[in-house]
Chain A
């Protein structure tokens, strides 16, 4: 299972766009990149998943370059409620493999 590296923490202000980058140099051909969000006292919550190029949903965008060795989660116009820990994970979703969580990125959004 590919290991991921992401910043420990980030700070932002309400209304700004936040980009969290994740490195996954050893990503395998069948691996997808998945991001989860976790609030205190809750379990991780699926945000977005992608394989290559760009994926966008109502919550975020995920940018994946051609070499797929990194990815960037983009949160448009963050609000205070986006303060959470964000985890980047890689793996083959078709195999329902166990998820390997890293330290995640603790995002703090201030007024």
Chain B
């Protein structure tokens, strides 16, 4: 079974530009999560999708961040406009009711805003 796939693996953009991160969860996983780790800090929750619906978006830092999951399959996280403090590693994870315990994480996208 394929794991959680994220791309790009790295992205370097200038302040003020737009970046879109993509996550492909494990096929059949209804639950999809976004997390991020900024430099020197702990991994923090951003939001949780159940299929195409946002279940919990309490961790989204501000309205420059927009997450979508059209059709309940892959998800995108857009940052527009990007700021320096958005730099960090963005992780996606998925899980399924009745499936294996725990969440399966992708390898992350390292975003650098210069």
Which residues of A approach B to under 8 Å, CB–CB? 34, 36, 41-46, 49, 93, 96, 98-104
Closest to A46 in B: B102
**Size of interface on B: residues with Cβ below 8 Å to A:** 28
Closest to B43 in A: A101
Check if A44 sits within 8 Å of B33, measured CB to CB: no
Report the separation of the CA atoms of residues A104 and B104 in the bound assembly, to the nearest whole angstrom.
Answer: 18
Check if B48 sits within 8 Å of A100, measured CB to CB: no
B65 within 8 A of A: no
Report the separation of the CA atoms of residues A48 and B104 in the bound assembly, to the nearest whole angstrom.
Answer: 13
User: Which of chain A's residues have a CB closer than 8 A to the CB of B33?
Assistant: 98-99
Report the separation of the CA atoms of residues A44 and B33 in the bound assembly, to the nearest whole angstrom.
Answer: 13
Chain A-chain B contacts (Cβ-Cβ < 8 Å), number: 55
Given contacts A101-B42, A101-B44, 20 further A-B contacts (CB under 8 A): A34-B101, A43-B91, A43-B108, A44-B91, A45-B105, A46-B101, A49-B101, A49-B102, A96-B50, A96-B55, A96-B95, A96-B97, A98-B45, A98-B48, A98-B59, A99-B33, A99-B35, A99-B93, A100-B45, A101-B43
Check if A96 sits within 8 Å of B31, measured CB to CB: yes
B79 within 8 A of A: no
Check if B56 sits within 8 Å of A98, measured CB to CB: yes
Check if A43 sits within 8 Å of B4, measured CB to CB: yes
User: Which of chain A's residues have a CB closer than 8 A to the CB of B44?
Assistant: 101
Among the listed A36, A42, A98, A102, which residue makes an inter-chain contact with B102, where contact means beta carbons less than 8 Å apart? Answer: A36
